[in-house]
Structure 1
Amino acid sequence: MVIKSLQSLVNETLKEIKTINADQAYKMVQDKNCNLIDIRESNELENTGSVEGASHIPRGMLEVYLDPNSPVFQNGQIDQKKEFVLFCAGGVRSALAVKSLKDMGYQKVSHIDGGFGSIASSKFKII
């Protein structure tokens, strides 16, 4: 049995998923064409701030919250007609999370290259 390194897993995943940059994500948010989802942990948000307009769903709860049978999903907090745009701190967790959502059956999913680091130096407002 061969255990893949994280880097090889991420490299394989990046070939299968949609990656966008922070400027593309900003335009999607301005046009109200996406659900912007911050998958960082709560302590990361406390330490570096949140992105205005982003929903927070920690990576460890993503599949639970986006299960169509979950209360979070059913209360209308997420618009499943819009693209799901995920980001983490640097882009590794969000890439893997997008693959997981695709495995669940979601079609319109992408992640932001460079994660919060690229978002913080873009037009997004950090609060």
Structure 2
Amino acid sequence: MAIGYKQMLAEAQAEVTSLSHEEAAARLNDPEVVFVDIRDPRELERDGFIPDAKHAPRGMLEFWIDPESPYHKAWFATDQTFLFYCASGWRSLLAAQVAQRMGLKTASLKGGFGDWRCADLPVAQRTARS
């Protein structure tokens, strides 16, 4: 029998460290932490993003992490902790679990970018690509 998203999230929560927006904000300028926004580019353009965060669309994540992939991004080949976030925290929790299983040090942002913005933490703007 297939499992549902609630069970998948529960399993990911058991495996992945999740940080509150306060805990994440304290690591914003930590050179050992890379914030990774996995939202769709339209979400970044519409809502902004955490300053200096890298963008890795969720659909490309595994390919960008794997050094054997033709789509590999070198910035994933470091010993830093990758703090993943999305709008509400669900997609990023699952993304952090996958990245952790692929060998990265990971964490996810509880409540996602929505909680970050509600807490009035720093937000950068991205202009739409033409």
TM-score bucket (shorter structure): 0.7 to 0.9
The 5 A counterparts of 1:10-89 are 10-70=9-69, 72-74=72-74, 77-78=75-76, 80-89=78-87
Between the aligned partners of 1:23 and 1:79, the Cα distance in structure 2 is: 27
2:117 aligned residue? 120
Stretches of structure 1 that go unaligned for 5 or more consecutive residues are none
Cα distance per residue 1:38-94 (max 9 Å; x no partner)? 0001111122122211111100011111112456533xx446121100001101111
Deviation at 1:21, TM superposition (A): 1.0
Under a length normalisation based on structure 1, what TM-score does the superposition of the two structures give?
0.86
Question: 111-120 or 25-34: which moved more?
Answer: 25-34
Runs of 4+ in 1 over 4 A off after TM superposition: none
CA RMSD in angstroms comes to 1.7
Q: What percentage of residue pairs aligned between the two structures are identical? A: 30
SS at match of 1:89: coil
